[in-house]
Structure formats: C-alpha cells, structure tokens
Amino acid sequence: MGQRHSIYSPSITDKKESWQHSLLTSIGVGTTASETDKIPPDNIFVPIQQDNILPQVPIGAHHPVPRKGIEDDDYRTLHTNKFYANTFLGEQNQPVWTQPYSIWWGKGSKEVGQLPTWGMGIAHIETEDLVYGEGDPAKHYVNPPRRQSLVLSARELDFNTTLTTDTHLPFSVNINLNHKTTHIEPKLTFPVVQGMSFITGGYRSASPIIQCPGPGFNFVSEPIHVGRSTKYRIKDANSRDWVIYVNPIPHFPYNASAFRRVDANTLLGPPFFKGTIQIARNPLGAEGESLYDKATGAFACEVLLTATVSEARGTYSFSYTKIGTSPLLMFALPHHIQSLDPDLRPQITRLQLRTPAKGLATAVWGDKLTFIEPALPITMSFGAWTPTLGPGKMKFAPDVHAFIAAIADRELRQLMAQDILSTASYFTAGKHVAKLATLIWVLKDVLNDAARTAAGLERLKLLLERYVANRQRYPLYYDDCWKGVVSYSGFTEPAADGGNTYYSDHHVHWAGFVYAAAVVAYLDAEWLRQGENRAWTNMLVKDFAESDYAGRDYPFSRSFDWWAGHSWGKGLIESADGRVVDSAGEDGFASLAIKMWGRVVGDVNMEKRGELWMEVLLPCLRLSASPFLPFSSSSKRSSQAVLTSFISIQATSCSPSSPAPSPPTSSSSRTTQYTRRASRPTSA
C-alpha cells in the first residue's frame, strides 16, 4: 500500500490548544458535552476499511488552492465542501450561511451602504430584502450576500487584521480575527455551527464595537441586568428587533453602563474586555426575549452525529458540545421539526426565523436533538420500487418486452462502441459506466438475455479494470493537502471536469463508478475478490462519504450535510451564495450507490447509511417549496413568489444519434423514466 508521512489519527476531541480551551474555559464554565453524548454500540457511523492509499495512486501535497489561514496542522482532515468553506477560500470575506443567520468578514471593504469594518458582518435576511430577477413571475431571486444588519468588531482591529480558522470539524469551526500578522492569541473569535441561536463573539482583552450601517441604530435601550449578563434591546436601521448580551468572564470588573453610544452607528465597549457578546434577532417580542434571556451565556462549539437503524426505523442525533451552563437553544429546519423525536416536541418554541432557502427555522431547546425516520427504503434494490409496493418481479406484455429488448440491444451496441477511456471527465465516465451497468442489469433480470448480459458485463469489467489500475487519461492523485482523491486534470486547468480537482461534486462523479461496481459484484461475486476492486471502490466511497470521525485520509461525509439534509456540490471555490446544491436527483443516486455497494459487499452499516441518507434527503425535497413562497396570494408580488421552487422532469431514453424503435401503442403499457432535479434560487 502507499505510505503516508504519518499514521497520526486525530479524534473529535484531540485538538490544538485553541480558543475553546483557553478563553472559553477561563469564562468559568468550561466545555460541557451532553450527558447523553455516548456513542451507541450499534452506531452506523463506523470505519469502512483501514486507511491506506492504494499503491497505484500517487500522493502529493501541492494542491493549487492554499490552506489560507488554517491553523490546524497537516494531520487533521479538512472539510472542503462544508458551510464554512468561504473562511479559508479566496479573499476569505464571503458569507458563512449558518441558517438562519449569515456572517462575513468585512476586511475593510468600502461598499455602498455599508460600514467599512475589519470585524464581522452579521445578517438576517427577511423576505422584503430579496432581490428579484426579470420576468413575471421572475426567473429567480437572490438573498443579498454580504448584507450588514449589524457588525461585531473590536477597536483594535485594523488593516493589519488577519482571519484564521481552527478546529475544523464536520459541523463546526472557530473563526478568529487576529490583531497584527504575528501569531498571537486572537482578539475576537466566533465559534460557528449551523442552527446557532446567537452569533457569539469571544473577546480577549479587546474593546468591543457593535455597529449598525445606514442611518444607524433606530433604538438602543438602557442596560438591563440578566443574571451576570447585561442585555440591550436594539432596533437596527430597518427597525428590526435584536437583543445583545454582554457576558464578562468571572471577576472581570465590568460596569453595566460601560457601553456607550459614540455616534448614530456605533456602540463602544470598555477596553481590555474579556468575555463573550451574543447577538440574536428577536421578532417575537417579550416571549422571544424571555427565551434568549434563559439561553444567554451558552452556545454550541461542536456537534457529534450518531445514528442507529433497526429494520426500517432510522434514528439519528446531533449531540452538542456547549460552552456555558444555560440550556442550549438551537434552530431546527422544517425537516428536523417534521422528524423530531416525539419526546422532544415539548422543547419546540414559538420562535421562528426565516432562512435564505430552507423555510422557517424553529428554535428548540436541547443539548441533543434526535430525529426519527420510520420508513427507510430497506427493500429497495436495483429494480423498480415504490414505497407502498416495494420491489417486485417486473412482468411486461409481449409487445413491451420486445420494445425494451430492441432498445437494450441498440443501447448496448452504442455503449460498447464508445471510447470512454479517452475522456478527461470523471463525470462523463461515471455516467457512462452507471448507464452500462443499469443496462446489463436489465438484460439479466428483466430480459433474461444471457448472451448480451455476458458481453456487456465483460465490457464493464474491462473499463473498471483500467480505472482501478489508474491507467485512464487523467489518473487520480491522493491530495495530502486537503485529504482526498482528485483528478490530475485540474492541476493545469481549474475548471476541468467540473472542478473535480477542487473537490466539487465528488458524490456525483464517484457515484456512477460505485454503482457500476455494485452491479458487477451482484452479477459476479468473484469480482470482489480479484485484485483491488473492492479496495478501490471503497476508496471512492470514503472520499465523498467517509463514515469515520477519526479517519486519517478523508474527512467525515465530505459531500452530504446531515444537518442541512442534502449534499453540497461546490468544493474549494469561493462562493458568495454558499456551497451550491447542484442536483437533488444525483444526490439521491449517490445514496443509492452507497446502499447497493454496502449490500453486495456485506457492509450492513454502509447499506443502512445509504438508506438513511435517502430518507433524510427526501423530506427536504418535499418541503423545498415552503421557503420559496414568501408572499400571500393577495400580495402584489405573489406571482414572483411562485417562481422560487421548481422541479423539472427529464425523460431519459435512447441516445439522440439515431431514431428509437416505435413504442407499443397501448397506453397501459407505456413506461416512463425520469430524473428529478430540484433547483433552489440560492445555494445557501
């Protein structure tokens, strides 16, 4: 096997001496994991195979994209496609969409209508802030990126400020704003997780600044004592209500009136402040304020995902490591609320905030949130399947059978004539081998055509043999910088193969190969024991769907975001509107590939992960229309609202290069295949 320079294997709790273990513990409350945080013995997120790079895959550590501002050492796997990736890409000043908020580094930018700042811009985007495209209904809408509702900064931050990140984990990261370019303790740190109820800034001997752009604050209350904290009610420039909590560390000589309004736009805090400042949007008046009062002082800094599956019932949980002794308040998305464990439903509050593209987020109390999916597609296989009928032996009328056979013969000849090995695209090649694999399965299990099945299977094995040996046009390299397998093509042309070298759409690119390997193994179990077929396919699975938190060579679940409920397509590419959701249909196919590969190799936990992936993805698709109807039917702009969610149906049939045989005329015997692509107006 190929050798790595170290066998160090980081764990979720094995981290550098970071802000969490210095400033946070100095607050006097330390890091507190949920009491129910223990990993269940039947947790399905377990290692797939031992980490080792295959000998035919070269190892390199010179990726075109630098690890900008990343403080974690070279041994930690990095999460290329996560919601916080903008913090280490490009200019580092594009938004991090945490749902329901977004935050972004000002970096001194002087944009019209905004305050120049070296601190962190904070935004909550309301329906009336949306920007609509042309047409009636409009073709799209945009959640304005880099919007400033408020700014959280420090007087010491200036043009020498740098942004760094540390403790990169699957669902969390720390964002640091440092004074000067030397490596010293950060002046201001933001622990970031999706669904956080507060934007929390931790200060180290700095002078806090809270700002509001435009005409400035519409209202700022007198300081209000909430335990050891000091609260301010404010209205921003649009008269929207927020609450601010100042939480000094124990024994810090803080004066409740230390914040003063120096101008219409600026609140200035005391010098050398140590502690946290938490900001939250409050549309619920006194009721919302009482919730935030109860929660202030606590915030999540890490998240651990676990899951179990018993027959068709899947259960998954997010266990939060929190700072502070107050109960934890987190925002949940609509699909979370739909699947929330009934025992936790009393913890749902009436506090809701709009998210950019996922509906109304609802605040829920809990250090651990558990969700139940009671009907996993455990009977789904390679053939036709429905949730109500399950699988079944397909029977067709003679004319339909003849029609399918004619199409299959024609398609097989075309596929076997194509020189897919000469293509530079793993996307194209993956689609090719998946299509050939599907056709072979039809020939075997639908048409019982032994001769054509054997011919197609032999062709598919030869194609996969070349890829397993890494002798295709552009070989794969193991990237020891960002930790993953990538195409060589992008080292000279960043846009090559849809950004494969930059980790874009790996779940799409590799799923076709994984699915094809599953079909081959289903038809010929001996293939699994030959050479490195199994190890190579597992390598692709680990690259986009690693299931081991402590994995050395690949990050946990690179593509699928188990909190958001779908995969992120965009990799190491700076993006103002988030990480992009390219195709829900391809996302679903990736989960099917995982499920079926797990089944044929006997990896029960992998098969269960594929099934749970499918089911977690499905509620998001069902609810995808709800956030995109921001106006009532009586609104003047209701026609624009209707545009915002759509599903297109694409018929997939024969190649267009030659006419297809005529289908049977009986309407009762027609069949339709289609792919569903869900498109969102924004990708955040």
> Closest by alpha carbon to 280, among 361, 167, 370, 371?
361
Please tell me the predicted confidence (pLDDT) of residue 9: 34
Query: In the chain, which segments carry CATH 2.70.98.30?
Result: 95-373
Percent of the chain with pLDDT over 90: 68
Whether residue 582 contacts residue 505, with contact meaning beta carbons closer than 8 Å, is answered with yes
Digit-coded pLDDT (tens) for 238-278: 999 999 999 999 888 888 888 999 999 999 999 999 999 99
Digit-coded pLDDT (tens) for 217-241: 999 999 999 998 999 999 999 999 9
pLDDT band at 34 (very low <50, low <70, confident <90, very high): low
Sign of the dihedral through C-alpha 612, 614, 617, 619:
negative
Please tell me the predicted confidence (pLDDT) of residue 385: 84
> Closest by alpha carbon to 184, among 19, 302, 73, 15?
19
Whether residue 247 contacts residue 296, with contact meaning beta carbons closer than 8 Å, is answered with yes
pLDDT at 337 > cutoff 80:
yes
Digit-coded pLDDT (tens) for 563-605: 999 999 999 999 988 877 777 889 999 999 999 999 999 999 9
CA angle 69, 70, 73 (to 5 degrees): 140
Sign of the dihedral through C-alpha 239, 240, 241, 246:
negative
Rounded alpha-carbon distances, angstroms, from residue 343 to 182, 332, 366, 375, 626: 50, 16, 11, 19, 26
If you average pLDDT over every residue of the chain, what do you get? Answer: 85
Rounded Cα–Cα distance for residues 20 and 16 (Å):
10
Digit-coded pLDDT (tens) for 495-534: 888 899 999 999 999 999 999 999 999 999 999 999 999 9
pLDDT band at 643 (very low <50, low <70, confident <90, very high): very low
DSSP 512: H
Digit-coded pLDDT (tens) for 394-418: 778 899 989 999 999 999 999 999 9
DSSP 446: I
pLDDT band at 180 (very low <50, low <70, confident <90, very high): confident
> Strands, DSSP E only, in 341-466?
348-354, 360-365, 368-373, 385-386, 390-391
* Three-state secondary structure string covering 332-373: ECHHHHHHECHHHHHHEEEEEEECCCCCEEEEEECCEEEEEE
pLDDT band at 634 (very low <50, low <70, confident <90, very high): very low
Please tell me the predicted confidence (pLDDT) of residue 612: 98
Rounded Cα–Cα distance for residues 632 and 415 (Å):
50
Higher pLDDT among residues 634 and 210, named by residue? 210
Please tell me the CATH superfamily of domain 95-373, with its number: Golgi alpha-mannosidase II; domain 4 (2.70.98.30)
Digit-coded pLDDT (tens) for 469-495: 999 999 999 999 999 999 999 888 888
- Enumerate residues 6+ apart whose C-beta is below 8 A from 565: 333, 335, 616, 617, 619, 620
Compute the CA torsion angle 460, 462, 467, 473 (nearest 10 deg): -110
Rounded Cα–Cα distance for residues 507 and 430 (Å):
11
Please tell me the predicted confidence (pLDDT) of residue 33: 62
Structure tokens of 23? Answer: 């400033």
